[in-house]
Chain A
Amino acid sequence: MEKLVDSRGSACPGPITDLSKAYRNSQVGDIIVLWATDQGVKADAQAWAKRTGNEILEMKEEPDKIVIKIRINKR
């Protein structure tokens, strides 16, 4: 299942908190798409994925937001 988490406008550590909350309600195989505007999210999402054992599939910067696609591999 793909789930969109919209954290635009939220300052650090908001986006990673929103990601973590979505993760708690996810299942292995789910995809979480995180939208954020806080620049710290790029490094933070990587650190989060490394710690929790999940995978960043894609990270791209769009004019109005950063889009990060994460696959849940571990619960």
Chain B
Amino acid sequence: MSKLSIICFSGTIDKLTSVGVLAQAGAAMGMEVSVFVTFWGLMNFTKGEKKAIMPKEFEAYGPMMMEGMKREHVKSWYEMLKEAKEMGAKIYACSMAAGVMNIKKEDLDPIVDDMVGAATFLQEAEGGQILFI
């Protein structure tokens, strides 16, 4: 089976949406999908409400983008990741970034399968496509 491994580094909603779309599309294509969440990305993977942070340079376009996504029935990145998981995708949190941000394993959103190190991710990703978002 071919593999798609996504490093979710960014914490802004535009890039998270890309992560969601590609993870869901990859899983729908029958690919083995894994998402490795690190640094700013991790801020969105703790329990509780998800904040929609726009990148500074595109902040003025935020309302237009959110309205367009609603109009086109684009699902939220979180829902897309849930869809991907239903089709077998795995989501991993980077243990080092979690440490830096003082995020404990029990603080993580239930969507996260496990907390792992970079070596585990690289081992899982080997031979497949890797995206850094």
Contacts and interface: CB of A to CB of B under 8 A. Distances in A.
B20 to A, nearest CB: 9
| Residue picked from A9, A14, A48, most chain B C-beta under 10 Å | A14
B21 A20 contact: no
Using C-beta atoms within 8 Å of the partner chain, give the interface range for chain B: 10 to 19
A29 interface: no
A17 B28 contact: yes
Given A12-B25, A48-B28, A48-B29, A17 B83 contact: yes
Contacts, number: 40
B115 interface: no
A20 B24 CA distance: 11
B24 A17 contact: yes
Contacts of A16: 25, 28-29
B73 interface: yes
Interface string B12-36: 0000000001001101111000000
A11 to B, nearest CB: 5
Nearest to B74: A11
B106 interface: no
B73 A11 contact: yes
Given A12-B21, A13-B21, A20 B73 contact: no
A12 B74 CA distance: 8
A66 to B, nearest CB: 16
Interface of A: 9-14, 16-17, 19-21, 44, 47-48, 51-52
Given A11-B75, A20-B27, 6 more contacts: A11-B72, A14-B73, A16-B25, A16-B29, A17-B24, A48-B28
